[in-house]
Copies of this chain bind each other. A is one copy, B any other.
Amino acid sequence: MARNAAIHLGRRGLGALATGLAMAAQARAQSADPLPSWRPGPRKQALLDFVAAVTREGGPDFVPPPERVATFDNDGTLWVEQPAYTQLIFVLDRIRALAPRNPDWQQDPVFRAAIEGDIRGAVAGGSEGLLRLVGAAQAGQTPEAFQLIVSNWIGSARDARWNRRYDELVYQPMLEVLAYLRANGFITFIVSGGGVEFMRAFSERVYGVPPQQVVGTTMALKPGEQDGRIVLTRESHVDFIDDGPGKPVGIARFIGRRPVAAFGNSDGDYQMLRYTTEGAGRRFAMIVRHDDAEREYAYDRDSHIGRLDRAMNEAPGRGWQLISMKNDWARVFPG
């Protein structure tokens, strides 16, 4: 049958056939082990079983491809969030870079701390002070110009502990989960407290997640005109916080469909995990627990960043998979 059909294939048909063959090759490669950086065990198996169940046509748990929505938190789930959120480090670097043009910032203790690279001092002003820093560091440009600034920063800034770029401090096992789900017809979304335009500056290149599949915290955008062109300007106030109870709101607003699988690491993901697994039919939720001080960090209930307490307590009762970074991951970073 394939041979007869091939006779009728035109130039575009051959392209489509090549696509088919490439997909076949991909399918073969994946039948080996789609998650090579995961150690065998019940958590890895739970994910494999879930995907097998929801993709089995005619099976009781089958989910049609358009409904295979999977959502991923970013900080602490896809990349490192210690000793401070990467976006906070970006904000402080940016405040330092802009300081010469803003001499009045020296009069403000929060800004002075930021300029001096004193993270503790910069966050001592609480969320009010932090929002002022975030506003000053991230406002005034078009979304495109801002993403270029972020992109350039990501290309040069380095984490102090590993001397690696921040986009190299992503978790290899989670990159494999993203690719594995997509290969099985899932649509992968990022749903994170991070700034949406900050994440869009690298999400496609690093995670394979295009901008329209990134849901995050947003700063207000003001439409205007400049030199005869429409220009959108990032204002200095946050108009939606995509964290905690905001995550189901962000999902409903941007995606419009309840996820069948969700991945998080902290209590900021608690509502997203619940919103996912409270849906009808088979669902899957996973929590990355940071218990590996040697290869990454160990923190949970008492951490100021990525606190994991309530979600961990309720994980067993809700059927959420609690991943041990130390035991379940054969490797942490790519390369």
Contacts and interface: CB of A to CB of B under 8 A. Distances in A.
A197 interface: yes
A332 to B, nearest CB: 29
Interface residues of A, number: 60
Contact of A212 (B17, B20, B257, B271): B257
B249 A223 contact: yes
A46 interface: no
Contact of A13 (B15, B27, B218): B27
B212 A256 contact: yes
Nearest to A218: B253
Given A254-B254, A257-B212, A16 B5 contact: no
B210 A66 contact: yes
A245 B225 CA distance: 10
Contacts of A207: none
A66 B205 CA distance: 11
Interface string A188-207: 01000000110010001000
| Residue of A229, A253, A278 with most chain B CB atoms under a 10 A cut-off | A253
Given A212-B213, A248-B223, A271-B223, A10 B23 contact: no
Nearest to A212: B255
A217 B187 CA distance: 24
A122 to B, nearest CB: 28
B10 A31 contact: yes
Interface string A228-270: 0110100000000000011011001111111000000000000
Interface of A: 2-3, 5-6, 8-10, 12-21, 23-28, 31, 66, 69, 143-144, 187, 189, 196-197, 200, 204, 210-214, 218, 221, 223, 229-230, 232, 245-246, 248-249, 252-258, 271, 274-275, 278
- The list of the 9 closest CB pairs from A to B, nearest first, reads A20-B20, A211-B256, A13-B24, A16-B23, A12-B27, A223-B245, A16-B24, A17-B20, A212-B255
